[in-house]
Structure 1
Amino acid sequence: MVNQFPPEIFGEYLEKSSVAHQGATLKGDEAQEVVNAKIQWMEKLIADIKELSTTEKTKEIKDISIQLYGLCLSAYQNEYSAYARLCDTHAPKEEKIALLKSIEEKYIPEYEELYGELIMKGKAFAEENNLNVNWGK
């Protein structure tokens, strides 16, 4: 879910969401619907993570997860919602590029740090507890 967060990935996805394909009729809020679904999913994930029992071994992973998902949620609620409106209204490309650049500058350094730390600690935890996890790539 959070691996699609970077602007070059999610921005492109939103852009494509606002384009009619093979005679389909658009309602005009397709990109915003995608962002709203992400917001709802993030809120659910954060709530679910907070409800997980915490041990000394899992506390750090849980805390990093909450931080990472909270960071993403903030961007979805604010900047990505604004970007979705730009996509849905077919705003000028320059405007959209500027907003994606601001997302990159504001969120990506912390996102990369938290994401990397979570994966590293998650892999160590999985190995320590003999958990078979598919880490993708």
Structure 2
Amino acid sequence: MKKLFLILAVAAILPACTNPSPENYFDTAVLNTNMINDFGSDALTKMLIAQNVKYNGTLPNGPNAATKMIDGKVQYIESTIKKVKDLKETSETKTMLRTSEALFEYVLPVYKNEYTALAKMSDEGGTKEDVLSLGKEIDEKYGARFDSLFEVLTSEGKRYAAAHDIKVNWGN
């Protein structure tokens, strides 16, 4: 009975000691950017405005929906940064992981500050024009660097996915 327990215990521990799969590296470093691919875009600003459109006199997503949406993105980004940092860097994954980490760390303070302020403006009844104007300022200030990091990460992700036969629809 003790031998059986020992065998089962070792069998349960061994998978935890193995390296993550190529799919896990890809999903964590590249696929998780789907949550932030609207960063620095008019689409995100319009989504924040849409959170406060009343239907039949009520807010379908409740009060402070835009702020809650941004808070959710902040939590997701913080979690993803930790997951990316926890992955073991190899010569093959080095650029992909470092670029992913840089991208998420670049957007995090913008979501915490500028996008949170934009969401609050929307939640507190700011005019559509004011919200769009502030959104455009954010886009102009941060969009180019985001696009540059995103492009490098996408290129690395495509290379890595091809090398590991990971099937990805890149939207081309």
What TM-score comes out, normalization by structure 2 length? 0.73
Greater shift in the superposed pair: 26-35 or 107-116: 26-35
- Corresponding residue of 2:131: 96
Secondary structure at the aligned position of 2:58 is classed as coil
1:34 counterpart (69, 80, 89): 69
Q: How far, CA to CA, are the matches of 1:134 and 1:22 in structure 2?
A: 39
Question: Percent same amino acid at aligned positions?
Answer: 31
1:131 matched to 2:166:
yes
Structure 2 residue runs of 5 or longer lacking an equivalent are 1-34
Q: Does the 8 Å contact 1:28/1:89 carry over to 2?
A: no
* Paired AA for residue 12 in structure 1: K
Per-residue deviation, 1:2: 1.9
* Paired AA for residue 133 in structure 2: A
- Corresponding residue of 2:10: none
Q: How far, CA to CA, are the matches of 1:127 and 1:12 in structure 2?
A: 35
- Corresponding residue of 1:13: 47
2:116 counterpart (64, 81, 86): 81
* Paired AA for residue 29 in structure 1: N
Secondary structure at the aligned position of 1:98 is classed as helix
2:102 counterpart (44, 67, 87): 67
What TM-score comes out, normalization by structure 1 length? 0.90
2:154 counterpart (116, 119, 125): 119
Q: CA RMSD in A?
A: 1.6
- Corresponding residue of 1:2: 36
- Moved runs in structure 1, 4+ residues, more than 4 A? none
Structure 1 residue runs of 5 or longer lacking an equivalent are none
Q: How far, CA to CA, are the matches of 2:50 and 2:69 in structure 1?
A: 11
Secondary structure at the aligned position of 1:90 is classed as coil
Q: Does the 8 Å contact 1:79/1:103 carry over to 2?
A: yes
- Corresponding residue of 2:20: none
Greater shift in the superposed pair: 40-49 or 18-27: 18-27
Per-residue deviation, 1:105: 1.6
Per-residue deviation, 1:127: 1.1
2:89 counterpart (42, 54, 61): 54
CA deviations on 1:79-107 (whole Å, 9 max, x unpaired) are 11000011011113343233112211211
Q: How far, CA to CA, are the matches of 2:144 and 2:90 in structure 1?
A: 29
* Paired AA for residue 87 in structure 1: S
- Corresponding residue of 2:30: none
Q: How far, CA to CA, are the matches of 1:11 and 1:4 in structure 2?
A: 9
